[in-house]
Amino acid sequence: MSTNSNPLHAAEAYLRSIRTGEHSAALALAPLLAPDVEYVANGWMANLPGEQFKGHDAVLRRVTGNWASTAGIRYARWSAPREEGGKVMLAASFDHIGGVAPASVDVQLDFDAGGRISRIEHRNTPRQPRPTDTIPPGVKVL
């Protein structure tokens, strides 16, 4: 019997978990993760190392709680989850957020035979610096 017969429901639970950091979101997501789930992500900014976690508890710790990126993820513009060939895709834009947030994030969720999330892949597109002829006031030395 399938643990999760609705991949879009699992995607929404995952998104709530990474956007809020709430304990209740982690509790809702926990049974939707496979025991051998894997999380893979490249760095948020250019030249930052990626992350890789394997196993239910390690991945659950990484995708819940408040991290430096949680606020940016919370306020990103997320598209509705969509199914593509047995996978669920999520996408976010950060064009309205300044700072070190990436330009965009694409998330792919894979599922095992029981309908649980078996792999989470974050593909961050780093924001590209824009050349300028002036130094912004907030950067100038007083």
Instruction: Read off the amino acid at residue 43.
Output: G
pLDDT tens digit sequence for 25-75: 999 999 999 999 999 999 877 777 889 999 999 999 999 988 767 788 888
The pLDDT value given to residue 1: 34
The pLDDT value given to residue 130: 74
**113: how many CB neighbours lie within 10 A of its CB?**
8
pLDDT tens digit sequence for 81-128: 999 999 999 999 988 887 778 889 999 999 999 999 999 999 988 887
